[in-house]
Amino acid sequence: MTIPLAVVVPTQLVHLSLVDVIIIVFYFALVLAIGFYLKGRANTGEDFFMAGREMTAWVAGLSFLSANLGALELMGWAGSAYQYGILATHWYWIGAIPAMLFLALVMMPFYYISKTHSVPGYLKLRFGEPARAVSAVSFAFMTVLMSGVNMFAMAKVMQIVLGWDINFSIWVSALTVAIYVALGGLRSAIFNEVLQFFLIWAGALLIPILGLYEAGGWGNLKVEITHRFSEQYVHLWSGVGHFSSNPMGINWVGIVFGLGAVISMGYWTTDFLVVQRILAAKDIRSAEMAPIIGAGFKMFVPLIVILPGLLGLAVLPVKLVPESVAAVTGGMSYNDVLPLMLARYCGPGLLGLGITALIAGFMSGMAGNVTAFTTVWTYDIYRPLMNSKASDEHYVSMGRWTTIIGVLISIGTAYFVMQFASIMDYVQNLFSFFIAPLFGTVLLGMLWKRATGWGGFWGLLCGIVSSVSLWAWVKIDPTALRYVALSADAKTLAQDMFQALWSFLVCVIVTVVVSLATKPKPDAELTGLVYGLTKIPTVENVSWYQKPLFWAGVVVVVFFVLNIIFW
């Protein structure tokens, strides 16, 4: 039943059957059909860029999560779980849940009341044009670069796993995303993201179910991993007292303050790629409930990402190695653990579904980048800086063309990365340079009315510069990591955490100092933008169990219980 594909190379990990190919083709046909169906509903700016602001809490919440659930995320963190053990779960729990709840209950009301189209748009309202220009230009630039890098990385994965030609993977997936986003705008992207969310779960959930069956349950799995590797591979918190007592080379300060308080807050509350989905919610209750629904599901994503990596430690007959070693020896790397587990348990049909889940994950991430780029370009760069008096129809047309052009730039970036592979590491650091200081700027803007326009601008700029400087310092002199992460035992991931923490602090300090030295805006101009000067709408006329605060409480309880269980 296995059929040869025209683009196959001999080193692939898995072979697709006819039914697998049919499932993949059906997926592409369905996402394109959704794009064509929604074309007629994307005629105004609000429709195209904000999905008409009529999404329910469930649709916005699942889309919010799905935009983050990219294929590289799935495979990368499964590989990290194989490399570092259960510690990788921190990126899904403390590195996500508090930030998602903070977005829902504290920040979302300001985004929603201000009726902004984007995060840079909020900065314009709060701090003025200079702060918006810095954030919009850096965001647009990084988004297309990241999209291209991810596209290349995914094509590379498809080459290794399926033997598909890199050009084939890049062009087919990129053009499909370009078509359905250009036709239906954000609504089309959101609809497809929700579809992709279901496919990802349907395609990936069988691995932990069958894996736990094979391993003899969670208890036996822990015993096996402890026997083969170390006890610290199956404990979340008990080994993070010091950098040298856990496989990740990080301590609890980096995890709690660097990851939990800065990086995740920055990503989940100010990265427009995910926030845009919530801005499309139909009312304030839906906008608050959407991140809470996302948080509820996020807590269980480790089932399909981290658990397969842990199962790989216990049941795979081969030992996986770092990517750099695999490239030299021709062996299999940590990042191959998810496809290997897929091939281990999934026969014809299920394998196609699992591969479709990976493709869907990649396309949802790319669509997220493209729609965010299109909105920021049109509303925060093109309209204020180049053409402020055009009609709504003109901006929609600009949005459609920007979608196509953004995808083409991403494709160009993918080919550029293919020629100069070493640049990939640099580009992947771009977001970490930007996101922590941006969180500092937005947070002060929302919570401190004394923050001024120049304070916001210089704080953001100095935060970004400090982040880049710290990264460059360690790049030039690796021993500097002991100063940046406060320990000679710190490893790479600890650098990211502490780099974010310092750049956030620099941003906050500079913003405060400059604000105190410059003239603040009158209170009247800050109404609807700052805490204390804004009447926060409350969710009335619903039962207690329908209120966002209640469900946030439920999520918090489950969050603590999970952390204690896996302590």
Partner 1 sequence: MISIWFFIGMSLLVNGALILCAGVYEIWHPPAHEVVLYSLHASVWWGALMTLLGAVYCIRYRPGQKKA
Please give the residue ranges that form the binding site for partner 1 (CB under 8 A).
Answer: 1, 17, 19, 22-23, 26-27, 30, 34, 37, 41, 56, 59, 191, 194-195, 198-199, 202, 206, 210, 213-214, 343-350, 352-353, 356
Shortest distance in whole angstroms from residue 494 CB to partner 1: 37
Shortest distance in whole angstroms from residue 304 CB to partner 1: 14
CB nearer to partner 1: pick between 214 and 489:
214
Sign of the dihedral through C-alpha 184, 409, 73, 548: negative
DSSP codes, 519-539:
PPPPGGGGTTTSTTSS-----
CB nearer to partner 1: pick between 207 and 240:
207
Cα-based distances in Å from 335 to 163, 317, 326, 565: 16, 16, 10, 27
Q: Report the alpha-carbon angle 538-544-550, nearest 5.
A: 80
- Three-class SS string for 290-316? HHHHHHHHHCCCHHHHHHHHHHHHHHC
* Tokens standing for residue 518: 């410059």
Alpha helices in 255-298 (DSSP H): 264-270, 272-279, 284-298
Q: What's the rounded Cα separation, in Å, for the pair 185 and 39?
A: 8
CB nearer to partner 1: pick between 198 and 426:
198
Q: What's the rounded Cα separation, in Å, for the pair 274 and 63?
A: 8
Residues in the chain: 567
Shortest distance in whole angstroms from residue 281 CB to partner 1: 13
Radius of gyration of the chain (CA): 23
Shortest distance in whole angstroms from residue 335 CB to partner 1: 21
CB nearer to partner 1: pick between 202 and 284:
202
The contacts of residue 343 (CB under 8 Å, 6+ apart) are 13, 14, 351
CB nearer to partner 1: pick between 56 and 534:
56
CB nearer to partner 1: pick between 34 and 287:
34
Shortest distance in whole angstroms from residue 294 CB to partner 1: 16
User: How far from the centroid of its chain's Cα atoms is residue 504's Cα?
Assistant: 19
Shortest distance in whole angstroms from residue 424 CB to partner 1: 33
Identify the CA nearest to 221 among candidates 233, 204, 238.
233
Q: Tell me which residue has tokens 């990649």.
A: 362
Shortest distance in whole angstroms from residue 350 CB to partner 1: 5
CB nearer to partner 1: pick between 117 and 187:
187
CB nearer to partner 1: pick between 23 and 414:
23
Shortest distance in whole angstroms from residue 487 CB to partner 1: 42
